């Protein structure tokens, strides 16, 4: 009977696993009974009997191991839900994240916890951390991220703003982050201070910088700009890093350089004063240059000198600002050389808003200036350097000290800058002139430039030196305009005569 059972069992060895669940007692119990010694079985069946027993024990061990794995898996899932709950996720949100990135389930819990702690060390917490993990759950398991986080924490000392860190890490393919470290190190190597790297990176298109720009591309770009200011230009206008060197930067720099007469230093001055000029196409810049040459009658050299002083002329609207203001100068009696001289000193006249200029024009007309005169144009050029509010306060201050509108007109015609000085500075000088020097405010009519000298280092110093030599009656003009050497000799001579 037993033999028949064994034969039946031997046939079922190749059946599904359920056939292996044989109801044999342990081998030791079989052999322990005298009625079933091993010798009872035929020699050809003994190996089969042993094989069946080994299969049974192996199946038993396998079932135990599966049970252990199930327990460990459940513990892992429970721990993950607990961890995500601490971050701020709801249960259904955690399920969505695990479904989106199944690798999270098989990654050791301590590794995921360490990754979350690293992200928190970069000041990512609360909604920012939740949003980043929900958007890119692969950040919890990505091997490439280890090097990036180490770089951000250790080398950059956690200086980046959390919003910027979030932008950097929220990439669809984390493999691109590997070159991020190299690119930032390159910028620091060329002179971008670590404390400014956050500003630089926040102003560029990060996706373009990481996906489309190689380390070699950035190195070439910096090297090309080196003669003109290099990394300093990039620090002020980081978006330049996104420009294509061959099709954008080189043609634009070369246009400015050719306009300058191939003067690299002058070209660099323009780029340093207005790095944003590199945002304009060659066609745009050329159209402005040609307009100034044709409508204002300027030469290429004169146009560059204006651009050199005020590069923003390239960004000024031709029709809304350049044309009507050049027309204003023509109607005021300026020829081409006169316009060049005026615009070299007051280039802001071309760029200020219409409201700004109209307010100032109203004040000048109220003082007594006449339309379509060179005097009005010069006064307009002078007040471009001050605000309408300050100009109004200055006029009010002069009136409060007893000067009339006619006096203000006479002073500003002689010295237009008297309308652009800070009203607080003017008040201090007027008070010193009257209270400490004992002079009359009318003396300013003869020498309005007095108001342009520095109070402490020039006016007070000269006046106090004259007091020591009993020369207090010297005119304001002589007191302030003579050279330091002549002033010192005059003071010494007066002192000797008095002795």
pLDDT recorded at residue 199: 94
In terms of Cα–Cα distance, which of 257, 224, 256 is closest to 240? Answer: 224
Q: Give the per-residue pLDDT at 498.
A: 38
Q: Which of 10-14, 242-246, 295-299 has the lowest mean pLDDT?
A: 10-14
Q: Indicate the pLDDT class of residue 484, thresholds 50, 70 and 90.
A: low
Reported residue count of the chain is 499
pLDDT at position 444 is: 95
Q: Higher-confidence residue: 404 or 45? A: 404
Report the chain's mean pLDDT, rounded to a whole number.
83
The mean pLDDT value for 61-65 works out to: 43
Q: What pLDDT is attached to residue 202?
A: 92
Q: Helix 126-135 crosses helix 162-169 at what angle (to 10 degrees)?
A: 10
Above 70 in pLDDT, residue 63? no
Banded model confidence at residue 489, pLDDT cuts 50, 70, 90: low
User: Which tokens go with 336?
Assistant: 């081409």
The pLDDT value recorded for residue 25 is: 45
Task: Report residue 473's pLDDT band, with 50, 70 and 90 as the boundaries.
Answer: low
Task: Tell whether the model's pLDDT for residue 40 goes beyond 60.
Answer: no
What's the pLDDT score for residue 59?
Answer: 44
Range with the lowest mean pLDDT among 75-79, 99-103, 227-231, 403-407? 75-79
Residue-wise pLDDT tens digits, 259-284:
999 999 999 999 999 999 999 999 99
Q: What is the pLDDT of residues 160-213, one digit of tens each?
A: 999 999 888 887 566 677 788 999 999 999 999 999 999 999 999 988 887 788
d(CA 386, CA 422): 8
Half-sphere exposure of 84 (CA within 13 A, CB side): 24
Reading the block at residue 297, the tokens are 């009658």
Contact 473, 489 (CB under 8 A): no
From the number of C-beta atoms within 10 Å of its C-beta (0-12, 13-18, 19+), residue 269 rates as middle
Separation of first and last alpha carbons in the chain: 150
98-102, 314-318, 464-468: least confident range: 464-468
Confidence of residue 483 (pLDDT cuts 50, 70, 90): low
Of the two residues 32 and 253, the one the predictor is more confident about is 253
Quote the percentage of the chain above a pLDDT of 90.
55
Q: How far from the centroid of its chain's Cα atoms is residue 43's Cα?
A: 87
Domain ranges of the chain: 460-498
| 79 vs 67, higher pLDDT | 79
């Amino acid at each position: 009977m037993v033999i028949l059972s064994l034969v039946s069992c031997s046939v079922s060895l190749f059946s599904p696993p359920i056939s292996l669940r044989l109801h044999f007692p342990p081998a030791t119990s079989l052999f322990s009974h005298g009625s079933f010694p091993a010798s009872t079985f035929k020699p050809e069946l003994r190996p089969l009997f042993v094989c069946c027993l080994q299969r049974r024990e192996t199946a038993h061990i396998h079932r135990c191991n599966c049970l252990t794995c199930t327990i460990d898996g459940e513990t892992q899932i429970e721990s993950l839900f607990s961890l995500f709950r601490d971050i701020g996720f709801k249960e259904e949100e955690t399920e969505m994240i695990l479904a989106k990135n199944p690798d999270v389930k098989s990654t050791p819990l301590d590794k995921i916890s360490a990754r979350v702690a690293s992200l928190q060390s970069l000041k990512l917490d609360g909604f920012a951390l939740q949003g980043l993990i929900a958007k890119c759950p692969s950040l919890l398991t990505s091997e490439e991220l280890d090097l990036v986080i180490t770089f951000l924490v250790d080398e950059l000392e956690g200086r980046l703003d959390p919003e910027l860190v979030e932008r950097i890490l929220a990439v669809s393919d984390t493999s691109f982050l590997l070159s991020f470290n190299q690119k930032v190190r390159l910028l620091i190597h060329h002179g971008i201070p670590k404390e400014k790297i956050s500003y630089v990176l926040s102003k560029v298109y990060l996706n373009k910088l990481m996906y489309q720009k190689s380390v070699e591309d950035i190195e070439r770009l910096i090297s090309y700009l080196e003669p003109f200011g290099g990394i300093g230009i990039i620090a002020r206008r980081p978006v330049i890093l996104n420009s294509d060197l061959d099709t954008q930067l080189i043609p634009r720099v070369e246009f400015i350089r050719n306009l300058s007469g191939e003067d690299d230093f002058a070209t660099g001055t323009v780029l340093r004063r207005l790095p944003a000029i590199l945002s304009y196409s060659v066609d745009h810049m050329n159209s402005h240059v040609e307009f100034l040459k044709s409508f204002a009658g300027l030469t290429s050299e004169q146009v560059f000198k204006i651009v050199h002083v005020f590069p923003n002329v390239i960004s000024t609207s031709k029709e809304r600002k350049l044309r009507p203001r050049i027309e204003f100068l023509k109607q005021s009696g300026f020829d081409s050389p006169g316009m060049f001289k005026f615009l070299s000193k007051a280039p802001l006249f071309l760029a200020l808003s219409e409201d700004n200029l109209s307010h100032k024009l109203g004040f000048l007309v109220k003082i007594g200036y006449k339309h379509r005169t060179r005097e009005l144009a010069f006064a307009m050029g002078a007040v471009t350097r001050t605000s309408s509010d300050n100009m109004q306060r200055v006029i009010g201050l002069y009136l409060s000290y007893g000067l009339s509108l006619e006096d203000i007109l006479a002073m500003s015609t002689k010295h237009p800058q008297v309308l652009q000085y800070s009203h607080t500075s003017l008040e201090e000088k007027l008070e010193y002139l009257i209270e400490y020097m004992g002079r009359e405010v009318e003396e300013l009519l003869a020498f309005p430039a007095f108001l342009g000298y520095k109070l402490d280092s020039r006016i007070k110093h000269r006046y106090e030196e004259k007091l020591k030599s009993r020369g207090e009656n010297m005119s304001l003009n002589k007191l302030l305009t003579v050279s330091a050497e002549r002033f010192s000799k005059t003071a010494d001579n007066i002192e000797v005569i008095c002795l």
